Structure 1
Amino acid sequence: MSKQADTVLAGRKLRIEVPGRTLVDELDFELRAGEFLAVLGQNGAGKSLTLHTLAGLRRPATGTIELLGQPLPGLSRQTIARQLALLPQHSDDAFPATVFDTVLSGRHPHVPRWQWESAADRGIASDCLRLMDLHNLHNRDIATLSGGERRRVAVAQVLAQAPDVYLLDEPSNHLDPQHQLDVLNVFADKAACGKTVIASLHDVNLAARYATSCLLLFGDGRWELGPAESILTAAVLSDLYATPMEALPWHDRQFFVAAGNGQRR
């Protein structure tokens, strides 16, 4: 199979801007099935905007995006939703709904027009609830959930969508340590089964533990992309976060800690 045919998601010369500022300049990448890419950077560096751009929810200032070899703007939203899912940082609940119905809504891209969800769709939703340790909250109103429970509902909803590409904006947000590991283990398993995962993370140690590659966004147009084991160094991370970082040995890998005094350089 050719290199082009292997590519699941690609960006060509992408420039991502906000008024008066270029966040990412001429980003080039090709992601293939089975990759887990972590996106790292300071607050405001463009991590969320990059994910939203890759999802087709905002246009890049310049450049193109291809999903499974097709230009993203030429695809219908339903086609995109069948192949690519976005987990946003925050979930808005405009209408009352149960936990199960919220997760089941992730199946909508796969449901033919004017038809209801099938028994198979409902089974998928139930399986995703169990993956996120939510099976006991099946009939709860989502408005009654804690922040961490609501976050796991959002993850289960994205899992129910069953796409080829997962775009995850802070998937471990609001979660306790065990549920952080549970969520990232699930997506690491998805990557191992041939799905493509792109996740923005604040915890560099979670990125080092789970990602096969990392995209570092410096917020001034600069970026670096490479294998996690080679790109995650104390020197590079000190530059990325504008604070001294140290690498400490931990089991068979490195553990990174902020060694600064809390004052920005």
Structure 2
Amino acid sequence: MTDTIVTADTLCFAHGERRVIDNLSIQIPQGSLHVIVGPNGSGKSTLLDLMAGYRTPDSGSILLDAEPVSHLSPAERARRLAYMPQNEHAGFAYTVRETVMMGRHPHIPRFSPPSPQDRAKVDEALRAVDMTTLAERPATDLSGGERQRTALARTLAQDAPLMLLDEPTPSMDPHHALETMHLLRDICRNDGSVIAVLHDLNLAAAFADGVTVLHRGRVATSGSVEAALVPEIISQVFGVEAFVDDDPFTGRPRIALRRPPE
């Protein structure tokens, strides 16, 4: 039996009168790149917030390695999971390197300077996302894709066994988007675990070990790419027609979409 790193059990959460997460249950295997997809407003970002412990469910539970996330102190949670939110903007003119160093705060004793190991982790993260040459630039001067790569580097520098990523690639050019997905897959091949929200179904199909499709706060389906990203589910959830065949480069599923005929 495969170990699970995150388990959501009968999870419910509402914004005011609107139920955003509705009786949702999933298990995410350890060591996997698991992608969450779904239409706008389907609850993807809220689900990541609940997994990260930034929101408290109205009912149900979230377990991290079989331990309730709600039982973890903020410091312990920061050592065990790293969270990259969607559309994060730099408010101050910290350099890229200083921004990435913020990911090391869970490992640096209070009032202590960064250690050589901390600096090495930051350098490693900058190299991983191709931001070394921009390390001394103010984060406020970056393009959208460069900001995303900086945020990803900070998340990598946190060096947590689980990464939660909310839309890590949409502002990136095709080269860096592909490199990011290869990086995430390699992390999972080396004992890490990644849960990522994506809108690009083809990136999910090309790289994910498993996919959860959300629809109106519920799990429409969850399983392998081949089982989850099928035309019937895509049509039902997204309101488009889908054609799925094999990608000639990877042999994995490739998805073509069009408006349904009137």
Same fold (TM over 0.5): yes
Q: Corresponding residue for 1:137?
A: 134
1:217 counterpart = 2:214? yes
1:89 counterpart = 2:86? yes
Q: Which amino acid aligns with 1:87?
A: M
1:40-81 per-residue CA deviation (whole Å, 9 max, x = no partner) reads 001111111110111011111211111122211111111001
> Does the Cα contact within 8 Å between 1:24 and 1:217 map onto a contact in 2?
no
Q: Which amino acid aligns with 1:257?
A: A
TM-score, normalised relative to structure 1 = 0.93
> Does the Cα contact within 8 Å between 1:24 and 1:222 map onto a contact in 2?
no
**Identity, % of aligned pairs?**
34
Q: Corresponding residue for 1:20?
A: 17
Q: Corresponding residue for 2:238?
A: 241
Distance in 2, Cα, partners of 1:128 & 1:101:
12
Distance in 2, Cα, partners of 1:117 & 1:220:
42
Out of 33, 36, 41, the position equivalent to 1:39 is: 36
> Does the Cα contact within 8 Å between 2:212 and 2:219 map onto a contact in 1?
no
Distance in 2, Cα, partners of 1:36 & 1:25:
24
**For the aligned residues, what is the CA RMSD?**
1.7
> Does the Cα contact within 8 Å between 2:9 and 2:24 map onto a contact in 1?
yes
Structure 1 stretches (4+) deviating beyond 6 angstroms? none
Q: Corresponding residue for 2:255?
A: 256
Distance in 2, Cα, partners of 1:91 & 1:166:
16
1:174 counterpart = 2:163? no
Distance in 1, Cα, partners of 2:6 & 2:211:
15
Distance in 1, Cα, partners of 2:150 & 2:253:
32
Q: Which amino acid aligns with 2:242?
A: M
Distance in 1, Cα, partners of 2:111 & 2:71:
24
Task: Report the CA distance between 1:235 and its aligned residue.
Answer: 1.0
Deviates more, 1:239-248 or 1:13-22: 13-22
1:110-125 correspondence to structure 2 within 5 Å: 110-125=107-122
Out of 46, 50, 53, the position equivalent to 1:53 is: 50
Task: Report the CA distance between 1:8 and its aligned residue.
Answer: 1.9
Deviates more, 1:242-251 or 1:48-57: 242-251
SS in 1 for 2:39: coil
Q: Which amino acid aligns with 1:258?
A: L
- Identify unmatched segments of 5+ residues in structure 1: none
Q: Which amino acid aligns with 2:211?
A: C
